[in-house]
Amino acid sequence: MSDCIFCKIANHEIESNYVYEDDLVTAFRDMNPQAPTHVLVVPKAHYANIVDGVPAQTLAAMAHAVDEVAKKEGIRESGFRVVANTGDDAGQTVHHLHWHVIGGARLTDGMA
Ligand code: DGP
């Protein structure tokens, strides 16, 4: 989508602080981090959210990206949270599917 900020970041039309990338997925640091690690995993193709007909291959690539981010950030063993805010009641503000990967500290309720 031409006016979608995460489409632009995921496809390098706007550069960001990238942590991981493959053919289907990009991961970059959230501009408003809630913890020492706060990375957003997004598909390069545009889907509004997790119930927008996302192909299984893309979901698998996102799960793989989460693992890669956790390894790179050194939080794979200590634990982390993955959050997919979906729709208005969840407070989704960017309507391009993204998973928050949050960790690096003891997490409290309500993050992301
Ligand atoms: P939410 O839609 O509420 O699940 O969260 C969207 C997140 O995206 C929020 O934590 C802030 C982050 N964000 C929004 N715009 C940008 C941006 O342009 N760059 C980066 N790095 N993060 C962004």
Residue that the structure tokens 């890669």 belong to: 68
Domain residue extents for the chain:
5-103
* Residues labelled as active-site residues: 98
Please tell me the predicted confidence (pLDDT) of residue 1. 77
Best CA proximity match to 105, nearest among 62, 63, 83, 73: 73
Q: Which residues line ligand 1 (CB under 6 A)?
A: 5, 16, 28-32, 40, 85, 91-94
CA of 57 to the centre of ligand 1 (A): 24
Q: Which CATH superfamily is domain 5-103 in?
A: HIT-like (3.30.428.10)
What pLDDT is attached to residue 80? Answer: 97
Cα dist. 5→11, 75, 93 in Å?
10, 27, 11
CA 7 to chain centre: 12
Q: What is the mean pLDDT of each run of 10 residues along the chain (112 residues)?
A: 94 97 98 97 98 98 98 97 96 97 89 56
* Residue 34 alpha carbon to ligand 1 centre in Å: 11
Report pTM: 0.96
